[in-house]
Amino acid sequence: MERTLTQEMTRREGVASSSGRAAIVHCEALAVATTSAPEFIDITDDVQRIVAESGVRLGQVTVYSTHTTAAIKVNENEPLLLQDMARILHQVAPLHADYDHNDFSRRTVNIDEGECRNGHAHCQHLFLSTSETIPILDGQLATGRWQRVFLVELDEPRQRRVLVNVIGVAA
């Protein structure tokens, strides 16, 4: 008899549910000043504060970077691990490698005055993500023991904007 993946590898667990309540949608922007690259900035407490202030008890929060050279990731905030991750990013897309994006004599679109050479940052971003979505249970981020939410700066220091969009229902 053939068994399905669902039968073999998953177990359903009722955590929480809600029906018949009006949805809450709350969006707030965080302004984050970065200082170096790569830089891992733990924004978990800011995200949790926004969730708490929204009044959502059951739902989800999406944390979104409005930049193509700054990512959002969930990972562990352990100093040696952060060093490892920075080293891996440098290995994947080194700062001083050749990137066509950095050739301003050929590039004709999306160029600001004073544009820096940041092809490496865009390429590093391919391996990360623009957003993370985290469940909310009992008004708290439903993260694992070591999970933290990071803004990851991949380019030059600057002011970054992160949208925190909370959707769910109150208790």
**Is 159 among the domain residues?**
yes
**34: number of Cβ within 10 Å:** 19
Higher pLDDT, 23 or 18: 23
* SS3 of residue 45 by DSSP: helix
Q: Parallel, antiparallel, or unpaired for β 24-33 and 39-42?
A: unpaired
User: What does pLDDT average to over the chain?
Assistant: 91
- What gap in Å lies between CA 99 and CA 23, rounded to an integer? 46
> Which residues are 104's β-sheet partners?
none
C-alpha angle 32-118-130 in degrees, rounded to nearest 5? 50
Report the CATH number that the domain containing residue 52 is assigned in CATH: 2.60.120.460
Sheet strands (E) in 105-157: 131-137, 140-141, 147-153
Judge contact between 153 and 160, C-beta under 8 A: yes
- For the chain, the domain total comes to 1
Residue-range definition of the domain harbouring residue 154? 22-96+118-169
Residue 3 is predicted with a pLDDT of 47
**Is 10 among the domain residues?**
no
pLDDT band at 22 (very low <50, low <70, confident <90, very high): confident
**Is 110 among the domain residues?**
no
**Is 155 among the domain residues?**
yes
Question: In this model, does residue 158 exceed pLDDT 80?
Answer: yes
